[in-house]
Amino acid sequence: MYRFYYISALFLCISCTKPYSSEIENVLKQAGDNRCELEKVLKRYSKNPADSLKLKAAEFLIVNMPGYVYYEGNLLNNYLSYFRLLRENIGTNHSPEELLDSVISRYGAFRLDSLRTKEDILTLDSAYLCNNIDWAFKVWHEQPWGKNVSFDDFCEYILPYRIGDEKPEYWREKFYREYNPMLEALRYESADVMEDPIQAVYLLMRHITNWKEIRFTTVSPADLPHVGASIARYKSGSCRELTDYAVYVCRALGIPCHIDVVPVRGNDNVGHFWISFHDKNRELYCQDFPETVTPVRSNKIREDAKTKVYRYTFGQNRSLKKAMQVGEASFPELFEQPRFVDVTSHYAKYCARQIHISAEQLYKRKQSTKIAYLCNSQHRDWTPVDWAPLTKEGLSFRNVQKGDIWRIAGWENNRPVYLSNPFRIDPLTNRLTFYAGQDSVQDVILHSKFSIEGEILFRSRICGGVFEGSNDAGFIHKDTLHVINIIPNRLLVKAKLKTKRPYRYVRFYGAEGSYCNISEAAFYETEQDTLPLTGKVVGTPGSFNPADPHEYTNVFDGKTWTSFDYKDGWGGWAGLDLGQSRNLFTVVYTPRNRDNYIRPGDTFELFYMDTEWKSLGIVESNSDSLLYRNVPRNALLYLKNHTRGLQERIFTYENGQQIWR
């Protein structure tokens, strides 16, 4: 009996076969026992000529399926609970760091290699694929803007059943039922409005970008795969998880959308993801979900430091892969299976159509590689973000944004082999500068291990803030002791107070629009005092983001890495009741910050680049600055904190200042 059923099933599989294209046939052979399921999909859409486009869509998915994998295992399920915890703890005092630590402590460290790896081509069944295709076509044909979406765009940016390496699930109908009613108002607009997909985007985002329901954090488990549709619905996590959520919603409603990515930021050690759209006239719009959707031409992203911007595709970039097949044994991860197209020219304000590096500017060594990579700095490593053929004359990279520090490398035995010193092209003057170090040396004074320019909003908010003294608790009668007029550029800023008499009550009163942003304040009675005055902490309660509270009590907790972020732009203050009137001499204050300054008591090591990183010594800081002597000029530098923290970045030292690169 069982043998009969097996033979019957085998016969059905054989009988439904037909001549396929060589690409399709090659994939079906790779599918092994799952070939029947893929053929069921092809057979279903081959029966009716009206389904000819669905057949082409099925072929598109199947041809591009090899290489897609997902993961299964209890450890993965346990770690995905982190995103649920993020959502459930909005408005509590539990920070993302605490929540992740609790997951790690309960389940152990996350290891991707401990999970079971499943291949789409070997596991996805016909029911799943047909459901995805039918729902994708339903929304494409149903939505009024569908007539302005080409079949090619449909295949790449509506049809795909997955985003990356998440576990496949049935998500389309669920998202459609929940979110499609939000677009009902569009049906009453003119044809010109409702047939433009960007109008649907505007309307949808007004409904789903409620900050009270979103928990953004850069704190994420390392090496975690994409979380999938069900977890993305928590609207919690980093730019990757929030972008994935927006993509699921848009594609479920027939809105074509792209995931655009910077592999490594030009002034940071991480990449960045966002979502983009075209309107009916093909103008490009972008959104850092849940920020506002804006045209790219007027978005600040054009000025952000970046070398390359790529757009993820479901299909492999076969022309790129073919061009790179020149005998190389291995490729960097980004180029192993390239599923992206280059969209740098759309986003780069200072785009160089071509950058040529001559053979004379490369190291004098025998090269076995035929491809070289343009690399961005990532901590003390260099990560490939672009490629070019390597010839006797040198090499040329196309469509890159100028301004970053780069290094050229080959790729051998799955690791970079460096071919040049780091270099930079000035975006305004086009001047090419190589950083090799010089025989001459200089002394350097360092105040941070990572750029504080990204904190300019925090640092500038302290300007206009006032330190006040009073002898009544309500500060009805008060004296101005000091006004902050200069944006701080270090951790601890000391100011002499203008006092008229002793005061029992002292406070920092934030400037209008500043949300009373300050991290720490310490008052001293005399110039010789080393211990600040203490008292009962008083102030205005309430934090701007209840999901991540920053209360007034942080200003006097002795921790320069905590801060006050008042719930309103004005009216916030934090102070001390000293118990009795005291004389005041100085105040030492700290702007709100991300804890990248030099902290007293931490151990640091300074490195400089000379074909490789070389140490200039390990020291323990005793203030908020470090002095290093005999540092080579025109060299890239890197300050490592051995005590705490992850954020560190390359810099140069010019005219007495750290210049972050």
DSSP string computed for 608-657: EEESEEEEEEEEE-SSS-EEEEEEETT--EEEEESSS-S---EEEEETTE
- In the prediction, which pLDDT does 211 show? 82
201 with 287, same domain? yes
Question: pLDDT digit string (tens) for 497-547?
Answer: 999 899 999 999 999 999 999 999 999 999 999 999 999 999 999 999 876
What is the DSSP code string of 534-562? --EEEE---BS-TTS---GGGGGSS-TT-
- In the prediction, which pLDDT does 4 show? 38
352 with 418, same domain? yes
Angle, alpha carbons 600-605-610 (nearest 5°): 150
429 with 445, same domain? no
In whole angstroms, give the CA distance from residue 657 to residue 105: 42
Question: pLDDT digit string (tens) for 363-381?
Answer: 987 767 889 999 999 999 9
Whether residue 588 has pLDDT greater than 50: yes
* DSSP 3-state of 156: helix
617/92: higher pLDDT: 617
Whether residue 22 has pLDDT greater than 60: yes
Whether residue 639 has pLDDT greater than 90: yes
Whether residue 166 has pLDDT greater than 50: yes
Residue 32 lies in a domain: no
Closest listed residue to residue 461, CA positions, set 514, 521, 518, 519: 514
Whether residue 7 has pLDDT greater than 70: no
577 with 619, same domain? no
**What is the mean predicted confidence (pLDDT) over 600-622?**
96
Q: Helix 239-252 and helix 126-142: axis angle, to 10°?
A: 70
Whether the bond into 290 is cis, omega within 30 of 0? yes
Stretch among 5-9, 110-114, 255-259 having the lowest mean pLDDT: 5-9
149 with 272, same domain? yes
Residue 157 φ/ψ, nearest 5 degrees: -125, 5
Residue with tokens 């329901």: 213
Query: What CATH number should be reported for the domain holding residue 259?
Result: 3.10.620
Residue 534 lies in a domain: yes
Whether residue 311 has pLDDT greater than 70: yes
Closest listed residue to residue 139, CA positions, set 278, 275, 59, 256: 256
DSSP secondary structure letter of residue 661 = -
Q: Over pLDDT 70: what percentage of the chain?
A: 97
- Cβ distance 407 to 375 under 8 Å? yes
pLDDT-based confidence at residue 438 (cuts at 50, 70, 90):
confident
From residue 628, alpha-carbon distances to 439, 446, 600 in Å are 16, 8, 16
Q: Helix 2-15 and helix 35-44: axis angle, to 10°?
A: 50
Residue 193 lies in a domain: yes
168 with 209, same domain? yes
- Helix H or strand E encompassing 154: helix 151-157
In whole angstroms, give the CA distance from residue 87 to residue 233: 10
157 with 276, same domain? yes
**What is the mean predicted confidence (pLDDT) over 595-600?**
96
Average pLDDT across the chain, whole number: 93
Residue 24 lies in a domain: no
Residue 486 φ/ψ, nearest 5 degrees: -120, 135
Stretch among 42-46, 155-159, 368-372, 493-497 having the lowest mean pLDDT: 368-372
Stretch among 94-98, 326-330, 512-516 having the lowest mean pLDDT: 326-330
558 with 517, same domain? yes
508 with 420, same domain? no
pLDDT-based confidence at residue 18 (cuts at 50, 70, 90):
low
In whole angstroms, give the CA distance from residue 373 to residue 418: 9
pLDDT-based confidence at residue 2 (cuts at 50, 70, 90):
very low
- In the prediction, which pLDDT does 454 show? 85
Residue 5 lies in a domain: no
Whether residue 33 has pLDDT greater than 70: yes
**What is the mean predicted confidence (pLDDT) over 419-446?**
93
**What is the mean predicted confidence (pLDDT) over 216-234?**
94
Q: How far is CA 409 from the centre of its chain?
A: 24
Whether residue 620 has pLDDT greater than 90: yes
**What is the mean predicted confidence (pLDDT) over 475-495?**
97
State which of 244, 274, 305 marks the end of a domain.
Answer: 305
161 with 263, same domain? yes
Residue 92 lies in a domain: yes
- In the prediction, which pLDDT does 364 show? 87
From residue 48, alpha-carbon distances to 128, 254, 537 in Å are 20, 24, 77
Whether residue 598 has pLDDT greater than 70: yes
In whole angstroms, give the CA distance from residue 451 to residue 462: 18
- Cβ distance 324 to 274 under 8 Å? no
**What is the mean predicted confidence (pLDDT) over 428-433?**
93
Residue 365 lies in a domain: yes
- In the prediction, which pLDDT does 212 show? 83
- In the prediction, which pLDDT does 367 show? 66
State which of 282, 305, 328 marks the end of a domain.
Answer: 305
Closest listed residue to residue 76, CA positions, set 34, 110, 51: 110
Domain range enclosing 475? 458-590
- In the prediction, which pLDDT does 277 show? 98
Domain tally for the chain? Answer: 4
- In the prediction, which pLDDT does 439 show? 81
State which of 549, 573, 590 marks the end of a domain.
Answer: 590
pLDDT-based confidence at residue 246 (cuts at 50, 70, 90):
very high
Query: What CATH number should be reported for the domain holding residue 445?
Result: 2.60.40
In whole angstroms, give the CA distance from residue 287 to residue 243: 9
- In the prediction, which pLDDT does 500 show? 87
pLDDT-based confidence at residue 94 (cuts at 50, 70, 90):
confident
Closest listed residue to residue 246, CA positions, set 281, 277, 278: 277
475 with 546, same domain? yes
**What is the mean predicted confidence (pLDDT) over 411-429?**
93
Which pTM value belongs to this model?
0.89
Residue 390 lies in a domain: yes
Whether residue 5 has pLDDT greater than 70: no
- In the prediction, which pLDDT does 8 show? 42
